[in-house]
């Protein structure tokens, strides 16, 4: 085990001489980064020595098996903790490994301070071959389209200013990763002069962007005049205050809420929550989008074969928006989605705009008894729909209860029955919405947001577990098998760095998301559907995830194919997690 990952060293410095890379360490400490995830690389050997010896390994270095995993751990940590950590990647090759992790942090609006390096830009200092292939012109060009900012200072005097700017850019909403590249020769030079560093009192990031007050008045007027308004939210819950603010707004105006779950924005058992069912939009006469780009997926029916979408809301439904609009959209990636047709688009941070809008609405309702009555009536009507939905889901969950392989609803139920008395956190996977339909997400920290795609979840989940380490909370990762096959080395990183968590395998022995596409295409084209499994199944041989996990230092059981055996195995695994050891239970489930 890596004791330095959890303990503070008594000796603060082992260095006898000052080096330029010490300045980078001073800045890392000044900005309060709690951890640094990395995979070793000689291009930052100077910085590494400064971190370990001048800095006394504070903040602790977390060793990872791949640069993408390092970035994803920082990504997950930021989502769960609400503060950034750093990741260091090795020059060209390490940066190329990290690009997918950086891209997903960008589209998920997560602040990750990525530090890279390059071989010496001074040709006279390059070793033959290796320094040449590890030097690029310019290193950051490779990922410039999906970071908020990148920079490569040419002298040590340029390091503090660029570091400060990078931090501010990263933390300014909408947040995202940045990339700072440090020349290997710059790092390795002796420090021969004083370099001015930021003052402790200096402001590190700007205050939230305020929305236009008159525009909020207009939204309040339309919101209160609507017969059936819906609040559509994606990133409001990026902070505890945002989660609570949205509850206050919904209760004030009596509006139904649809949560896209990029973060946990709203408690799922709240009577105004109508998420997971597009039926909420059928009668909507106003949809207010709150910090949401992904508006089309929840509000439209999607014909995946014909690639056509049809709106589920009425043609006369009005749309309005509060958020960051076109700020920081990529010129390369089209993650911003289709442009909504809005009667009013208000630029501003929902962290301040939602409380301001709530205050305006409360003042208007207090002066108008008829309006207060209308709000109460629609609140009651929405609560009835909410109760009907959860009753329907509970009945659907019992279908084929003892079937084999285990149904997703049964797995969600078994996990919930075991963890519901714990102070739990779910990392990413939603079991095709069954966790939202059966569990009780009552606190903002219960869930930092949905998974983003295959090859992202295990690293992010380890970062979430790191953020909750030492809190007594049980971190649960319902882990797809295909995703874990990408980055199984992340299991070792969790064990090495003393990060306890529970993994429950969502093992359908397939890359079924794409398999389902192949079934659909085969049906459309009239080709044999039974051949859709080719190059989609994870079988012959079936990976033994319990053995893999044990080999990485985990407690593990499985594969479990009988649903009745899941709960006892989970209880044994949870006992191990509470003792400080990561644990995995491999459950074999049906594909959908």
DSSP single-letter state for residue 537: B
Residue 591, pLDDT score: 82
Does position 238 have pLDDT exceeding 70, yes or no?
A: yes
- Please compute the mean of the pLDDT values over residues 451-476 and round it to a whole number: 95
pLDDT digits (tens, 9 = 90+) for 558-573: 999 999 999 999 999 9
pLDDT value at residue 7: 36
Contact 302, 475 (CB under 8 A): no
Average pLDDT, the chain: 94
Residue with tokens 């076109």: 326
- Nearest CA-CA partner of 168 in 181, 149, 140: 149
Q: Lowest-pLDDT range, 241-255, 297-311, 392-406? A: 297-311
Query: Rounded to whole angstroms, how far apart are CA atoms 308 and 302?
Result: 6
pLDDT digits (tens, 9 = 90+) for 320-344: 999 999 998 888 988 888 888 999 9
Mean pLDDT, range 1-30, rounded to an integer:
74
Backbone angles phi, psi at 345, to 5 degrees: -120, 120
Average pLDDT of the residues in 371-384:
96
Share of the chain above pLDDT 90, in %: 83
Distances (CA, A) of 8 to 12, 25, 35, 59, 303: 9, 16, 12, 9, 55
Does residue 5 register a pLDDT over 70?
Answer: no
**Predicted pLDDT at 292:** 95
Q: Which of 373-382, 484-493, 517-526 shows the lowest per-residue confidence on average (mean pLDDT)?
A: 517-526
Pairwise pLDDT comparison (301 vs 284), residue with the higher score:
284
pLDDT in tens, 573-583: 999 999 999 99
> What number is the average pLDDT over the span 309-327?
93
The mean pLDDT value for 481-488 works out to 95
Ranges 34-38, 141-145, 330-334: which has the least confidence: 330-334
Q: 582, 495 in Cβ contact below 8 A?
A: yes
Query: What count of other Cβ atoms lies within 10 Å of the Cβ of residue 280?
Result: 26
Q: 340: how many CB neighbours lie within 10 A of its CB?
A: 17
What is the structure's pLDDT at 11? 61
For position 555, what pLDDT does the model report? 98
Minimum mean pLDDT range among 29-38, 180-189, 197-206, 358-367: 197-206
What does the pLDDT average to over 197-219?
94
The pLDDT assigned to 121 comes to 84
DSSP per residue, 544-578: -HHHHHHHTT-EEEEEE-SGGGHHHHHHHHHHHHH
pLDDT of residue 331: 87
Residue 10 has pLDDT above 60, yes or no: no
Burial class (CB in 10 A: 0-12, 13-18, 19+), 370: exposed
pLDDT band at 282 (very low <50, low <70, confident <90, very high): very high
Cis-peptide, bond into residue 138, ω within 30° of zero:
yes
pTM for the structure as a whole: 0.95
For residue 515, is pLDDT > 90?
Answer: no
Taken in order of first residue, the domains within the chain and their CATH numbers are 3-187 (3.40.50.970), 213-394 (3.40.50.1220), 399-588 (3.40.50.970)
Convert the pLDDT of each residue in 51-75 to its tens digit.
999 999 999 999 999 999 999 999 9
Please name the residues in contact with 80: beta carbons below 8 A apart, sequence gap of 6 or more.
425, 445, 448, 463, 464, 467, 468
């Amino acid at each position: 085990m890596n004791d330095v990952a959890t303990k503070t060293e008594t000796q603060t410095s082992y260095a006898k001489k000052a080096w330029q890379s010490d300045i980078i360490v001073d800045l890392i400490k000044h900005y309060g980064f709690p951890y640094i995830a990395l995979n070793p690389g000689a291009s930052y050997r100077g910085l590494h020595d400064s971190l370990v010896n001048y800095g006394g390994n504070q903040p602790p270095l977390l060793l990872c098996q791949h640069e993408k995993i390092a970035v994803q751990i920082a990504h997950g940590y930021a989502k769960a903790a609400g503060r950034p950590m750093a990741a260091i990647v090795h020059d060209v090759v390490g940066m190329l490994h990290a690009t997918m992790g950086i891209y997903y942090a960008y589209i998920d609006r997560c602040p990750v301070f990525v530090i890279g390096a390059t071989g010496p830009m001074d040709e006279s200092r390059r070793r033959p071959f290796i320094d040449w292939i590890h030097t690029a012109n310019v290193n950051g060009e490779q990922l410039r389209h999906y970071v908020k900012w990148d920079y490569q200072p040419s002298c040590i005097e340029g390091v503090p200013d660029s570091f400060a700017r990078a931090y501010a850019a990263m933390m300014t909403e909408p947040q995202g990763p940045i990339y700072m590249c440090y020349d290997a020769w710059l790092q390795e030079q002796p420090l021969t002069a004083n370099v001015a560093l930021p003052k402790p009192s200096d402001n590190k990031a700007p205050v939230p962007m305020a929305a236009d007050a008159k525009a909020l008045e207009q939204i309040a007027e339309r919101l209160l005049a609507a017969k059936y308004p819906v609040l559509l939210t994606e990133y409001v819950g990026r902070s505890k205050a945002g989660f609570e603010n949205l509850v206050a707004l919904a209760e004030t105006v009596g509006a139904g809420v649809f949560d896209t779950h990029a973060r946990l924005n709203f408690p799922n058992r709240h009577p105004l929550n109508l998420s997971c069912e597009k039926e909420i939009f059928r009668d909507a006469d106003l949809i207010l989008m709150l910090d949401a780009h992904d508006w089309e997926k929840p509000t439209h029916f999607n014909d995946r074969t014909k690639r056509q979408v049809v709106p589920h809301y009425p043609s006369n439904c009005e749309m309005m928006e509060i958020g960051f609009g076109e700020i920081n959209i990529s010129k390369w990636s089209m993650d911003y989605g289709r442009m909504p047709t809005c009667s009013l688009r208000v630029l501003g941070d929902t962290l301040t705009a939602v409380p301001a809008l709530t205050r305006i609405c409360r003042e208007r309702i207090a002066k108008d008894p008829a309006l207060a009555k209308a709000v109460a009536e629609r609140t009651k009507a929405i609560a009835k729909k909410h109760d009907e939905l959860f009753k329907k889901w509970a009945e659907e969950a019992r279908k084929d209860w003892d079937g084999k392989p285990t149904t997703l609803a049964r797995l969600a139920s078994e996990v919930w029955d075991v963890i519901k008395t714990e102070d739990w956190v779910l990392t990413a996977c939603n079991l095709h919405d069954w966790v939202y339909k059966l569990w009780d997400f009552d606190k903002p920290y219960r869930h930092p947001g949905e998974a983003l795609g295959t090859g992202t979840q295990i690293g992010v989940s380890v970062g979430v577990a790191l953020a909750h380490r030492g809190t007594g909370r049980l971190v649960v990762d319902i882990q797809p098998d295909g995703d874990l096959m990408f980055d199984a080395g992340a299991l070792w990183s969790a064990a090495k760095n003393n990060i306890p968590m529970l993994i429950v395998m969502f093992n359908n022995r397939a890359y079924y998301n794409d398999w389902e596409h192949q079934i659909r295409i085969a049906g459309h084209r009239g080709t044999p559907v039974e051949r859709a499994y080719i190059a989609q199944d994870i079988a012959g041989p079936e990976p033994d995830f319990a053995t893999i996990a044990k080999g990485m230092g985990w407690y593990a059981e499985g594969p479990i194919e009988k649903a009745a055996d899941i709960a006892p195995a989970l209880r044994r695994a949870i006992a191990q997690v509470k003792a400080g050891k990561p644990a995995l239970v491999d459950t074999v489930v049906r594909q959908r």
